[in-house]
Amino acid sequence: MTVFNLGSINADHFYRLPHLPAPGETLAAQDYAIGLGGKGANQSVALARAGAEVRHVGAIGEDGRWMADRMTAAGVDCRHVAELPGASGHAIIEVETSGENLIIVYPGANRAISPGQALFALNTARAGDWLVMQNETSAQVEAAQAARAAGMTVVYSAAPFDAGSVRAVIDHISLLIVNEIEAAQLCADFGVTLQELPVARLVVTLGARGATWYDLAAGTQVSAPAFHVTPVDTTGAGDTFAGYLVAGLAEGLPPAEAMRLASAAAALKVTRAGTADAIPARAEVEAFLK
């Protein structure tokens, strides 16, 4: 079973500042670090660390080869990551001493993925394979339609939330993953309750309160409480959860077990600073669960 992930790849530039700049102000940063980020790359790394065979479908700019290399080193197959002219997707993350932040995201190559590139990659998929998508790339609708027609299971994280994007793909997806803020936005947009959303299966993550799996077609639900840990950095918790959940489901675990595995992986992630690099390996998660 292969998991194809049509997903963003971003360079996260972190600047530590004495305070956030006012308009017109020039400020010297006290520290700078660069890391691999983007919801897509994070989810691919989580899938690979969970043990799934994962092929990333995405794009980097001329400055992004190091990111594909880092994903490859984490076990992600990057044969369908295109190098396009122009800049890679990147985020400028300014953090002041109080922890307050200011973030600019430039989608760059992530929004230049053509439907043709996505379809070319999905041509190699077999029935029973999985397609994972988030909302930071182009070509989602075409990819979801093709994947559905090919007998794949399509999973969509509706983040960052945008009503138009969700509406465009919702008919083609088998499992929707949202956090509680996105769930509320979705219900408000459709004017329905959670149970009335037009999807077969839905997972709502609730931060330190855990996550709930709804099988809306069957009218059942499963709750996975969060593990009690001392949080250090919650960035990437949702991506770790989504990657581990899909890896568990793709290997045939029942939803309750896949949710437990995902909760444990996400709990371990929040005890560590960083995003992609801080996602735990399967063996660490299994040891945590013992």
Beta bridge partners of 16: 31, 95
The residue within the footprint of ligand ADP, chosen from 17, 226, 250, 279 (CB under 6 A), is: 226
- Is 239 considered catalytic here? yes
The residue within the footprint of ligand ADP, chosen from 42, 43, 138, 205 (CB under 6 A), is: 205
Half-sphere exposure of 237 (CA within 13 A, CB side): 25
Name residues contacting ligand ADP, limited to 245-274 (CB under 6 A): 263, 266-267, 270
Residue closer to ligand ADP by CB (options 68, 249) is 249
Q: Does 210 bind ligand ADP (CB under 6 A)?
A: yes
The per-residue DSSP string of 32-70 comes to: EEEEEE-HHHHHHHHHHHHT-EEEEEEEE-TT-HHHHHH
Q: Is 128 helix (H, G, I), strand (E, B) or coil?
A: coil
Q: Does 186 bind ligand ADP (CB under 6 A)?
A: no
Q: Does 227 bind ligand ADP (CB under 6 A)?
A: yes
53 burial via Cβ count (<10 Å: 0-12, 13-18, 19+): middle
Q: Does 244 bind ligand ADP (CB under 6 A)?
A: no
Output the smallest distance, CB 97 to ligand ADP, in A: 22
| Residue among 12, 129, 239, 277 flagged as catalytic | 239
Q: Does 165 bind ligand ADP (CB under 6 A)?
A: no
Cα dist from 274 to 37, 228, 261, 271, whole Å: 9, 19, 20, 10
> Is residue 160 reached through a cis peptide bond, with omega within 30 degrees of 0 on the bond before it?
yes
Residue closer to ligand ADP by CB (options 41, 267) is 267
- Interacting span for ligand ADP (CB under 6 A) from 54-62, 129-137, 236-244, 279-287: 236-244
Residue closer to ligand ADP by CB (options 121, 204) is 204
Residue closer to ligand ADP by CB (options 117, 275) is 275
Which residue lies nearest ligand ADP, judged by its C-beta? 238
The per-residue DSSP string of 154-194 comes to: EEEE--S--HHHHHHHGGG-SEEEEEHHHHHHHHHHHTS-G
Helices 39-50 and 237-250: angle between axes, nearest 10 degrees: 40
The residue within the footprint of ligand ADP, chosen from 10, 110, 153, 179 (CB under 6 A), is: 179
Amino acid at 136: E
Active-site residue list: 239
